Structure 1
């Protein structure tokens, strides 16, 4: 039998299965009430518009739609994105945009571009699990990024990185309705983060997957918009904006984009040429067709739909969670973050939850680069309906209460 483990590159040791992707397999079990995946509600997908777009592009223009294309991406889609970014306060040209196969590919490319083994990545704890997976292949270490401030100065970050044998190479975070916590970073804290990136002379990756899904509170400028405001031109900025159509139109076509200074885009184009040449042309053409005609309406529908789901979940949590459990109250996105009593383990709770009450969620430690946060869990509210939310939170609240009671007995 071949010993494949001895033949893999050292980076393969950093590769781990996604707890979220594994939990999604539970969706095939009809009795499971799942609050695990960050999955858009397929009832919102603009199926008719997508079908019409495919029909149009597989007509007279099929030769173009089915052919190889440029690595930068479909030009009309990039031109639409220039207008879209302008609506977010980001002045740019098509030379500042590359189309990627979902925003996940963008994270992988950015890790490949900036991180050498032993280098340091700054990220929030918790943070998006998929980002950790993408970056781990490039063998980094992590240091904690605290957007609201803390004791870590730029010099302290540098010293920690150098002591570990590398440099601080990038910072990463979701500023709007974070996955997993649902929290949003204030304007003042965003300005501090942009300042930190300039002081450290590092890229700051802004994962904007959920930015369009605001259904409460006031809009906050993107990190890239604030950096342009500071520097006067996108080509002098350090923020790299990663966007996606997955949460607004559909995830299945796998279309995302990066908006950044032109030198960064030029390097990303080279990486894409070596990786997959270009994202599927026809999918880009279809996304452009649908975005041009339906984007604003789709976003409005998604906001109203997810606001209602969020409200159902917050109300159900208030009714069913025992004292000692707290949770975030997101103004958008798809997630609520629960903090359990300090001695309760989210992974152990999940095992009992699946076995006893058939409710799935994601343990919070998966989102921490250092494996901490064991007494936290993530709940998704975008996919389950009101009845599922009510039943699931009732069951979960009762289970947590029984666990707390058992722990109290053991302690006494």
Structure 2
């Protein structure tokens, strides 16, 4: 029998199973109240609109092109729609600045491949999106913490050099971040761009939750600020990653990257070597639904998720014991909970599933250094308001018992 571990590439040692993907299996258990999966509610999908879209794509003259190979850059009508939509956020670009990917997760993998050599350093927030760490890990980077007060460009360069590489990019999700639900303030976005200028690195802006604002004042995307500072997208250093997964449908796996053309050209080459192009028929269906239903769909999900967020924040106020703290997001799908330091959230999850039938994601998964064992992520997107009240009451009772 072949010793597979002996022949795997060294990078395979850094590939780990996603705690979140494993926890999604709990959704199939009817007695579990799950706050684990950060996924959209399927009851809110625009199913009829997609049924109509696929029928039109396959029933007319577009059927052949929908089932055929296509260009790697992406479906032109979809990129034209994105150009108009992004313009509303202050992102002025051509369609040649837009590249379609198989979900924004593929975009993160491609960007890791494009920028990271073994030993290089990626600057990430702490905590940060687990999927980004998984995408980057295969390219054997080191991580340094983004957003630490009083860090100088020289300190980042020195730390990266000590690990045998260079600082290659800063990655963050600035709006209603996964996992914390927090939003980066306007002045902090400007400081980040200044830091990136001084370090001479790109900024990867993960905007998966851009459209899911429920209250508060909107903050311009980092790319929009960069364009305003630089005068043109071709002079910017920000790479904007977006997705239709949280607004229309995740199963179609349609995401996109917006950046200066030299970056887009390299990403196209990577895609040609990887999977040639994203699904033609899915891009056509997304374009059809976006053109006709996007605004109404976003309004519908905002209303539903806002009510669930409010229900979770109110339940946390009622049922969490003293010494527990949590974020109060203005949008997105997540609330981040910090427990008293004596509680390990991973051990708590095991007891919670067994005794209270409540699932969540332990916070350690979102830290590159696996720190902060006393944190956890709650998602409210797929739970009804009565389920949220019941589940948070159960969880609060369990945490209180751990402290007694």
Shorter chain as denominator, the TM-score bin is over 0.9
Count residues with an aligned counterpart: 403
* 2:152 is the alignment partner of 1:133: no
Q: Could you say which residue in structure 2 is the equivalent of 1:92?
A: 93
* 2:382 is the alignment partner of 1:383: yes
CA root-mean-square deviation: 0.6
- How far apart, CA to CA, are the structure 2 residues paired with 1:349 and 1:373? 14
Q: Could you say which residue in structure 2 is the equivalent of 1:21?
A: 21
Deviation at 1:3, TM superposition (A): 0.8
User: When the two structures are superposed, what TM-score results if normalisation uses the length of structure 1?
Assistant: 0.97
Q: Could you say which residue in structure 1 is the equivalent of 2:71?
A: 70
Greater Cα offset, 326-335 or 293-302: 293-302
Q: 1:45-93 CA deviation, whole Å, 9 max, x = no partner?
A: 1000000000000012211110000000000000111101101101000
* 2:111 is the alignment partner of 1:116: no
- How far apart, CA to CA, are the structure 1 residues paired with 2:304 and 2:345? 29
Q: Could you say which residue in structure 1 is the equivalent of 2:195?
A: 196
- How far apart, CA to CA, are the structure 2 residues paired with 1:253 and 1:311? 29
- How far apart, CA to CA, are the structure 2 residues paired with 1:28 and 1:221? 39
Deviation at 1:151, TM superposition (A): 2.3
- How far apart, CA to CA, are the structure 1 residues paired with 2:388 and 2:20? 19
What's the secondary structure of 1:184's corresponding residue? coil
- How far apart, CA to CA, are the structure 2 residues paired with 1:279 and 1:357? 42
Deviation at 1:153, TM superposition (A): 0.7
- How far apart, CA to CA, are the structure 1 residues paired with 2:368 and 2:84? 36
* 2:238 is the alignment partner of 1:233: no
- How far apart, CA to CA, are the structure 1 residues paired with 2:93 and 2:101? 18
Deviation at 1:344, TM superposition (A): 1.0
Q: Could you say which residue in structure 2 is the equivalent of 1:211?
A: 210
- How far apart, CA to CA, are the structure 2 residues paired with 1:185 and 1:245? 22
Q: Could you say which residue in structure 2 is the equivalent of 1:107?
A: 108
- How far apart, CA to CA, are the structure 1 residues paired with 2:267 and 2:58? 29
Q: Pairwise mapping of residues 261-272 of structure 1 onto structure 2 (< 5 A)?
A: 261-272=260-271
Q: Could you say which residue in structure 1 is the equivalent of 2:6?
A: 6
**What 5-or-longer segments of structure 1 have no aligned partner?**
406-412
User: When the two structures are superposed, what TM-score results if normalisation uses the length of structure 2?
Assistant: 0.99
Q: 1:89-135 CA deviation, whole Å, 9 max, x = no partner?
A: 01000110000000000000000000000000000000000000000
Q: 1:202-231 CA deviation, whole Å, 9 max, x = no partner?
A: 110000000100001000000000000110
What's the secondary structure of 1:58's corresponding residue? helix
Deviation at 1:342, TM superposition (A): 1.1
- How far apart, CA to CA, are the structure 2 residues paired with 1:373 and 1:138? 25
* 4+ long deviations beyond 3 Å: none
What's the secondary structure of 1:337's corresponding residue? strand
Q: Could you say which residue in structure 2 is the equivalent of 1:156?
A: 155
What's the secondary structure of 2:252's corresponding residue? coil
What's the secondary structure of 1:396's corresponding residue? helix
